[in-house]
Amino acid sequence: MRKLSTLALITSLFLSTFAIANEVNVFNARHYKADAEMYGKFTAATGIKVNLINGKSGALEKRIAEEGADSSADLYITADAGRCGAMDAKGLLQGGLSSETIKASVPKNFRTNKWVGVAKRARIIYYSPERVSGAELSGLTYEGLADPKWKGRLVIRKSSNIYNKSLVASLIANNGKKATAEWAKGVVSNMAREPKGNDRAQIMAVAAGEADIAVANTYYLALMLSGKKGAEQQEAAKKVKAFFPNQNDRGTHMNISCAALVKGAPNKANAIALVDFLLSPESQEHFTNNTFEFPMIGGVSPSPLVVNNLGLDFKQDLVTKVSTYGKNQAAALEVMTAAGWK
């Protein structure tokens, strides 16, 4: 895979566009201080000012929709492919988000011509090594979470959670809606408690003995182990282990943080330049070492906390297109709701 330095990428963009306006408007639903630092580096490298509008995904999406043709948004950056897919379904995105960097760096299943993955995460299983045996884990799949052997032992977030909707959407893509509906009933039957809390709360529930297994994204364990969320969560994280499902078939469910090109973007060239910058080795290292996500591009290693506690030797699902998460989102919520998944 051919790699260019950030400086070479930016120089190429200047030459190809002759003149670049001096700003780009980013509607940002990712709430990481590290991201703002990265945008500052982009401005320092290019002279292009990043106008950052931070907010929750729902509020930002509503604002873009309501403003319509009058919206100043160039890029919508958020933490789940399902959200980018939903924006596309509403007609709020446009094509043309493409460049040599994007084509060379981002696998086809992690991008469309309207949105592009800039970092990866996996939604995996965490377990108590004291209460879950190796035999129980052997060959475990997402589908296997509905097995009665897990009755009263599983915790997972609410059905309305976007990460769960994307996971279930991927199951619909692979197994069909009918089979996934039966699976959802089994999962609900196996829950140790009604769904509540965020991903870290699920990990803490296993650590506290309230459940034996939990479903949560990979970066949360590293975040807890880092101490950034306090000593209590750090100690809880040390009591659980990570397991990557579906290693004997399609691989572990992968999701992305994505950058979407908003319809009518007034600074389209600058938006593409920013996405190229986010896919540079320097930016990817910044992602991995601060947000504990997996890099989107090759040649960049995850954070040592991720490598040492989650590992790198796992099979990723590179077959299921993340664009199906948005397309199957309504169906995913429907099967979870019908199963009594609160």
Number of domains in the chain: 2
- Do 22 and 65 lie in one domain? The reply is yes
Residue 311 lies in a domain: no
The CATH number linked to 182 is 3.40.190.10
Specify the pLDDT at position 6.
Answer: 52
Q: Which residues contact 125 (CB under 8 A, 6 or more apart)?
A: 140, 145, 213, 214, 215, 242, 243, 244, 245
Residue 203 and residue 177 in one domain: yes
In a domain, 312, yes or no: no
The reply to whether 324 and 208 lie within a common domain is yes
Q: Are 171 and 143 in contact (CB under 8 A)?
A: yes
Whether residue 69 sits in one domain with residue 12: yes
Q: Is residue 14 part of a domain?
A: yes
Give the model's pLDDT for residue 146: 98
Q: Say yes or no: 237 and 92 in one domain.
A: no
Separation of alpha carbons 265 and 75, rounded Å: 8
3-state class of 82 per DSSP?
A: helix
pLDDT tens digit at each of 342 positions of the chain:
444 455 445 444 443 443 445 999 999 998 888 888 999 999 999 999 999 999 999 999 999 999 999 999 999 999 999 999 999 999 999 999 999 999 999 999 999 999 999 999 999 999 999 999 999 999 999 999 999 999 999 999 999 999 999 999 999 999 999 999 999 999 999 999 999 999 999 999 999 999 999 999 999 999 999 999 999 999 999 999 999 999 999 999 999 999 999 999 999 999 999 999 999 999 999 989 999 999 999 999 999 999 999 877 899 999 999 999 999 999 999 999 999 999
Cβ atoms of 275 and 259 within 8 Å: the answer is: yes
Contact 203, 126 (CB under 8 A): yes
Whether residue 87 is found in the same domain as residue 146: no
Decide: pTM greater than 0.85.
yes
pLDDT at 191: 98
Q: How far, in Å, CA of 271 to CA of 46, rounded?
A: 12
CB–CB of 274/42 below 8 Å?
yes
Host domain of residue 164: 122-253+317-338
Whose tokens are 């609160």? That residue is 342
Same domain for 228 and 161: yes
- Asked if residue 275 and residue 219 are part of one domain, the reply reads no
78 φ/ψ angles, rounded to the nearest 5 degrees: -145, 180
Q: Are residues 331 and 185 in the same domain?
A: yes
Please indicate, yes or no, whether residues 237 and 126 belong to a single structural domain of this protein.
Answer: yes
DSSP string across 149-175: GGTT-EE---TT-HHHHHHHHHHHHHH
